[in-house]
């Protein structure tokens, strides 16, 4: 009989997408079960997975709500315990975030093996809390900030997790004469990020044969469409759930936030990218994600609080016109990703699970 593994995920796309990738890697060798909260459902097709909903309420700082929230915490923990017992779970894999806390606690109470995943270059609070009791933590590097040195032996380094479709894409190696700018605001599709590049986009469209592909959310879709129509700029708008790999494969340059999954995908597809990390990201993890690849010569970084219409435009002009630096970035990304194959990651994950 196959071991029963539960994958705990939810919240943002940065947690859910890796959860689905773990699911695909393990489904042939193990009996896989997934838990997500309600927020996570918008990032996955629940009919595709053997899964259940466990909605977790974020802790509020309102002291008057404290008694009610304590009740919710205990209720969530009780539900998590019942889920693990009912489904005879032998291993829990958590992709991080507060929504995984009840299941991680329940696994500890029931003495069920716990594996963690940290895609960022800063250890998340949930993962830090459970690092002592976990078997292994899957990371992309052993240089994760805020990681306790005494548990360094628990790190299992794997290549960056990618959805299976990415391995079937042909990565372009030549420089396209046209400029195809891809703008990725992340799973939240922040309006502030949509507005950052407006002036630069107008200037770029005047100098180059130009098209923009932009990820946004439904709230911003209409206003962005009107903006591009008014400026007569060729464009395609899409949301987070659409096949972003197709847009990445068309891009000659990308303007992006510093989410771990997005950066991993851009690097794998050798798409030169300028990263503007979200300044309010917890523990500044988006900057640290971008800086990890920056040290390898894979991207450019621009801090949001330093941006104005002139320096962002000049930076993009410089990236596009400096073909030597542009090609260097593509080669560095290619060299970094050469060991990133589906089978290589699959073997590393399964070996780590089986040895514990």
What pLDDT digit, counting tens, does each position of 209-262 carry? 999 999 887 788 888 899 999 999 999 998 876 788 989 988 999 999 999 999
Highest mean pLDDT among 52-66, 138-152, 275-289: 138-152
CA distance 260 to 160: 9
Residue 190 and residue 105 in one domain: no
CA distance 272 to 302: 14
Strand order across the beta sheet in which 136-139 lies = 51-53, 31-36, 4-8, 91-94, 113-118, 136-139, 155-157
Residue 189 and residue 44 in one domain: no
Total domain count, the chain: 2
Residue 215 and residue 121 in one domain: no
Taking alpha carbons only, the member of 119, 124, 122 closest to residue 100 is 124
Would you say 261 and 18 are in contact if contact means Cβ atoms under 8 Å apart?
yes
Taking alpha carbons only, the member of 330, 187, 202 closest to residue 254 is 330
Q: How confident is the model at residue 279 (pLDDT cuts 50, 70, 90)?
A: confident
Instruction: Please give the full DSSP string across 213-247, using - where no structure is assigned.
Output: EEE--HHHHHHHHHHHHHHT--EEEE-TTS-HHHH
Domain limits for position 197: 166-337
Buried b (16+ CB within 10 A) or exposed e, 246-285: ebbbebbbbbbbbbbbbbbbbbbbbbbbbbbbbeebeebb
Residue 199 and residue 118 in one domain: no
Residue 262 and residue 317 in one domain: yes
Read off the CATH number of the domain in which 291 is found: 3.40.50.2000
Residue 191 and residue 45 in one domain: no
Mean of the pLDDT values across residues 152-157? 96
């Amino acid at each position: 009989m196959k071991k029963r593994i539960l994958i705990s995920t939810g919240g943002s796309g940065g947690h859910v997408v890796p959860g689905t990738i773990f699911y695909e890697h393990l489904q042939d060798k193990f009996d896989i079960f997934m838990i997500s909260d309600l927020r996570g459902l918008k990032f996955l097709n629940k009919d595709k997975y053997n899964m259940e909903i466990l909605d977790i309420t974020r802790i509020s700082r309102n002291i008057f709500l404290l008694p009610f929230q304590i009740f919710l915490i205990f209720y969530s923990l009780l539900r998590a315990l019942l889920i693990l017992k009912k489904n005879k779970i032998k291993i829990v894999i958590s992709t991080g975030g507060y929504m995984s806390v009840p299941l991680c606690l329940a696994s500890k109470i029931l003495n069920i093996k716990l594996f963690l995943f940290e895609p960022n270059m800063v250890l998340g609070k949930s993962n830090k809390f459970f690092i002592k009791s976990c078997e292994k933590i899957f990371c992309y590097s052993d240089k994760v900030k805020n990681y306790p040195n005494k548990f360094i032996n628990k790190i299992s380094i794997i290549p960056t997790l990618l959805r299976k479709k990415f391995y079937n894409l042909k990565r372009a190696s030549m420089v396209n004469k046209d400029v195809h700018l891809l703008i990725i605001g992340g799973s939240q599709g922040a309006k502030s990020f949509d507005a950052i590049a407006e002036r630069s986009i107008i200037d770029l469209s005047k100098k180059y044969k130009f098209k923009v592909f932009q990820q946004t959310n439904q709230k911003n879709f209409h206003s962005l469409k009107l903006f591009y129509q008014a400026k007569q700029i060729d464009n395609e708008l899409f949301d987070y759930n659409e096949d972003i790999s197709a847009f990445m494969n068309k891009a000659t340059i990308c303007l992006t936030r510093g989410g771990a999954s997005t950066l991993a995908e851009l690097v794998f597809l050798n798409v030169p990218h300028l990263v503007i990390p979200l300044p309010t990201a917890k523990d500044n993890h988006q900057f640290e994600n971008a800086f990890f690849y920056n040290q390898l010569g894979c991207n450019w970084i621009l801090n949001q609080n330093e941006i104005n219409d002139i320096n962002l435009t000049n930076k993009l002009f410089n990236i596009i016109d400096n073909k030597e630096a542009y090609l260097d970035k593509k080669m560095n990304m290619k060299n970094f990703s050469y060991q990133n194959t589906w089978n290589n990651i699959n073997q590393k994950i399964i070996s780590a699970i089986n040895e514990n």
